[in-house]
Amino acid sequence: MIVELDVPITVDDGTVLRADVFRPVADGQYPVLLSYGPYAKDLHFEDGYPDAWRMMCEQHPDVPAGSTNKYQAWEVADPEKWVSQDYVCIRVDSRGAGQSPGVIESFSPREVKDAYDCIEWAGVQPWSSGKVAMSGISYYAVMQWRVAALQPPHLAAIVVWEGMYDLYREAACHGGIRSTFVSGWYPNQVSTVQHGLGDRARKGRLKGRSVAGDETFTDERLAANKVDFDQELVRRPYDDDFFADRRADLSKVTVPLLSGANWGGHGLHLRGNVEAYLGAASENKWLELHGLEHWVHYYTDYGRELQLQFLDHFLKGKDNGWDERPPVLMNVRHPDETFVFREEHEWPLARTEWTELYLDASDLTLRSDPPTTDAHVTYQAMKEGVSFTTVLSEATEITGPASASLRISSETEDADLFLVLQVFDPLGKEVAFTGAVQTHTPVAHGWLRASHRSLDAERSLPWRPFHPHDKSEPLVPGQEYDVEVEIWPTSIVIPPGFTLALTVQGHDYEPPGHVPDTKAQWASMRGVGPFKHNDPHDRPEEIFGGTVTLHTGGENAPRVLLPVIPESKES
C-alpha cells in the first residue's frame, strides 16, 4: 500500500492538522475510512497499551494474523486489513494532539467542525470515491454522533464502536453522582500525547521521532494550549448548556450507521450506543451488542467482517445481503462467558415479558407478588449494602434495559444509591464477566443521587426512567421518598437453581476479596474499573456517609422491572 505520513489538512480557521493516509497502490478511486482523535496516530498500540495488546493477541490470535501489525494504533482500524479490501484509511491527529498543533479542548464543537472539514477534504481527493465513513472505538466513536448530525456531504456511513452519546449521564455524573474517570483518563491518555511535548513524549516506530511534535514547548505553553477538561466537569454538577453542546441532535443523524455496544461497558460505552441508535433518524441503522474487553471485537474477524459487510454495502454499493439483516445483532451472554449470536428485529425486543419482582425487607427476597406487610431494612451507606434475592426455578433470559422503583429515607439530606444486578451459582459464587475495561463485572449497574430524583415525564419510559439532572432537591431526614433508578442494559441467560440478586448500597461495587493489582496496566481494573465515584468533595461523609433505609410493601410497592425474554418461536 501507499503510505503518506503527516499529510496536511487545513480546516476552516486556517489550522493545519496532520493525518496519515494509507491507500491501495493501484490507480483508482476508493471509499475512505477516517478517524479523528487525540491519542497520537504515531503511537503504536503495543507501545501505548502493552497489556491490552498482549492480552488481545494471546486470547484472539485472529487479531494479529494476516498483518505485519506495523501500523497498529490504539482504537483505530489496522490499515493493512482495510487497504487490502480496497479502502483508504486516514488517521487524523485532533487539534492540539500528536502532530497537530492547536489547543486541546476535548469533545468541543471546535473538534466536531475539524472532523467535518477532514471528511470533506477526504471526499474530494483524486484517490477518493467521494464516499467517506467514520470508524473507530471510544473517542473515535463518540465524535461520530455529533459529526454525523452536521451532515457533511461526503459522509456516507458511521461505525460507532463503543462510543458514548450523553457526556453527562454516561461519563461525568452517573445518576447525578460524579465519576472520577476523567481525572485519570485526561492526564494519562490525552495530556501524555499533547502536541508540543516533543522530546518528553514517546517515540513512534515509523519515523523514530516524538509522537507529539518535533518542538518541545515549555510547561507554561503546554498549559495554555489545553483546556482542563476535568475541571470543566467538576464545575458542572448539573446537565447544563456545556453538556447540551456536547450531545448530538439525533434527529439530524441520517446516514447509515452501525452502533457496536458492549454488555460490559458500564460507566461509559453501553448506554449511549443503545440510546443514540434508538434516537437516530437514520433509515438504515443497526445495533450490535457484544461482550469481552473494550477493544477486542473491533479487531477480531467477527467484528471486522461485520463492519466490512456493512461498509461494502453502503460505500461500494455491493449487493451482499446486508440490507436484509435484521437491525439488532446481539451476542446473548451465558454464565460461562460464552455468547450465542442471535438476530432480532427491534430494541427492546417486542416479545419481552416485562417482569416485576417486588422487594421484601422482611426476609430480603425478591418476590413475584407485592408483600402483604410493610417492612424496612437499614444499611450504612459507606459500608455493606442490602441484597434482595430469588432462586430461579427455570432457565431465564434477561436481555434489555431494566429499572428499579425504590422507597427510601435517609438520616441526612441526601443519599447516593448504587444498584447492582448480580447472579450467583448454587454454591454462592458470583457469576461475573470480563467487562470493557475490567476483569470482573456483575450483570448490570444503576446509579442515582436521591436529590436528583425528579423525572422528565415525557422522556421517561417504564424500563428507562429519565432524570433531567437540572437541580438538587435535598431530602428531609427521616422522610420517605419514592425514587426511580435506571439500570443500564444487560443480557444473561440464568440457569435453573441460580440466584438473582439486586443489591442496593451507597458505594461502588467491588468483587468479594478484591485486592487491586497495581502493576498491571489493565488487569488491575476490577469491579467498576476506572469509573469510580469516590470524589470526597462530591460525596462528603457528613451527607453521604450516614444510614439509608429501604422501605417495602404498601401501595406502589418497591420493585425491579426486568426484561425477561421467552424462547423465540423460530429457535
pLDDT of residue 525: 64
In 10 A of CB 241, how many CB atoms? 8
- CATH 2.60.120.260 domain locations along the chain: 353-565
Distance from C-alpha of 259 to C-alpha of 190, rounded to nearest angstrom: 24
**pLDDT value at residue 512:** 76
Residue 256 φ then ψ, to 5°: -55, 140
Where does CATH 3.40.50.1820 sit in the chain? 2-161+177-236+295-325
The pTM score is 0.96
Helix, strand or coil, per DSSP, at residue 59 = helix
Rounded Cα–Cα distance for residues 353 and 178 (Å): 34
DSSP string, 119-172: HHHHHTSTTEEEEEEEEEETHHHHHHHHHHHH--TTEEEEEEES--S-HIIIII
What distance in Å separates the CA atoms of residue 65 and residue 417, rounded to the nearest whole number? 45
Q: Do 439 and 525 form a contact (C-beta atoms < 8 A)?
A: yes
CB atoms within 10 A of CB 317: 11
User: Which CATH fold topology does 353-565 show?
Assistant: Jelly Rolls (2.60.120)
- CA gap 104, 85 in Å, rounded: 34
Residue type, 289: L
| Contact (CB, 8 A) for 475 and 449 | no
By DSSP bridging, strand 257-262 and strand 155-161 are parallel
Q: What is the block-wise mean pLDDT of the chain (571 residues), using blocks of 10 residues? A: 98 98 98 98 96 95 98 97 98 98 97 98 98 98 98 98 97 97 93 97 94 97 96 96 97 98 95 98 98 95 98 98 97 94 98 98 97 97 95 97 98 98 96 90 97 98 97 98 98 98 96 62 69 95 96 96 84 43
What's residue 527's pLDDT?
Answer: 82
Q: Which three cell numbers stand for residue 239?
A: 446537565
**Superfamily for the 2-161+177-236+295-325 domain:** Alpha/Beta hydrolase fold, catalytic domain (3.40.50.1820)
| Class of residue 515 by CB neighbours under 10 A (exposed 0-12, middle 13-18, buried 19+) | exposed
Q: What's the CA angle centered on 558, arms 554 and 560, to 5 degrees?
A: 150
- Three-state DSSP class for 471? coil
Provide the CA 226 distance to its chain's centre, in angstroms. Answer: 24
Q: In angstroms, rounded to a whole number, what is the distance separating the alpha carbons of residues 145 and 259?
A: 10
